[in-house]
Amino acid sequence: MQAHSTAVNSYDTNHSSYDQFRPSFNEPLVDAFLADLNLVDTKTGKYDTTKKILELASGTGKFTRSLVERGWDGKGDNLVVVEPSTGMLDTFRKNFPNITAKQGSSYTLPIEDASVDAVVIAQGFHWFSDLESLKELNRVLKKPSGVFGCIWNFDCPSPQAQQLLSLDNDKINYIFEENSSSKEHFESLVKVLPNTLSKPYDIAHEFFKISPWTLEVGNYVYSYDLEVPQYRRGAWRKLLQEEEARKYFTPILKENFSFIEQSIEWDSVYKLWETRSYITKLPDAEKLKLKEHLEGLLTKFVTEKDKSVKDGKTFLNKALGSHTIVLKAK
């Protein structure tokens, strides 16, 4: 099997704009994620950078930067990345010239057997969530300590992606933005909502109500993604509960959900969505149609409280969710 052609072809062409407009990852969420991956020394509380990470589908390095800032800077060969897109690799190597970056996919990793402590995938597992990939990820992980984790940002709530498989609440963690006026409200909501399988989605649904324009724009653009794998559809979650998948990994051991607001320039909203593979591949006329409709949604749904002005530019508060999962190799 090969990496998905829509992803590879689109990212070969839009890698520069992807690097410029895609959001980074919430830092408290990253810290929790790395702790779940056993990459933090429990005695000292410091990052255990003696452990080696493989970052698969690294793209331009949006998540890699978080690893580098925490000590996985490639010195001592503690980080290697694998990416199928030549365009993405070009930008990655410019951003991180000291990190070992190899071209490859989840089906043929150019990595030795049992050689890494953790495999991390940011914003990508939905493209190759199949048994062949799980088998290959399992091959490169050390046993029995190796771990596999995924992290995604998401723009709208999704019942398929945010529906739990069990009510083991010890494995679920919710992170809200410090110094946010809504933090106390949502933390209270976590306490009072019943512990159902849909609880993460219910909380996400409530959170995104604070930014109606984010929902309107996201749900409109999602109407274009019907033919490609996406995080929001949750096919990756269905795979991980299959009996065959249990040959390679445990069930999900830990999940984190993060909810923050980020500032985005009005003129960058379309540019952000244009970095989606299924938008990148559209004919120019169809892109123009989408852009005009998107601008109309902004005009209709953005309120004064959503806006701020700096240096003559209009910025919007945009709701952003994030999600992490961690499993252990068998």
Q: Please state the pTM of the whole predicted model.
A: 0.95
Per residue in 98-109, pLDDT tens?
A: 999 999 999 999
> Is residue 228 pLDDT above 80, yes or no?
yes
Per residue in 156-165, pLDDT tens?
A: 999 999 998 8
Domains, in order of start, for the chain:
5-263+317-328 (3.40.50.150)
Model pLDDT, residue 15: 76
Element at 259 (helix H, strand E): strand 254-265
Structural contact between residues 137 and 116, judged by C-beta atoms closer than 8 angstroms = no
Q: Provide the token pair at 140.
A: 């490169």
- As a whole number, the mean pLDDT across the chain is 94
Sign of the dihedral through C-alpha 6, 9, 10, 15: positive
Confidence grade of residue 11 (pLDDT, cut at 50, 70, 90): low
User: CA 20 → CA 34, 95, 307, distances in Å?
Assistant: 25, 12, 21
Q: With pLDDT > 70 as the criterion, what percentage of the chain qualifies? A: 95
* Closest to 69 (Cα-Cα) out of 30, 114, 113: 30
Report the distance separating Cα 32 and Cα 20, nearest Å: 25
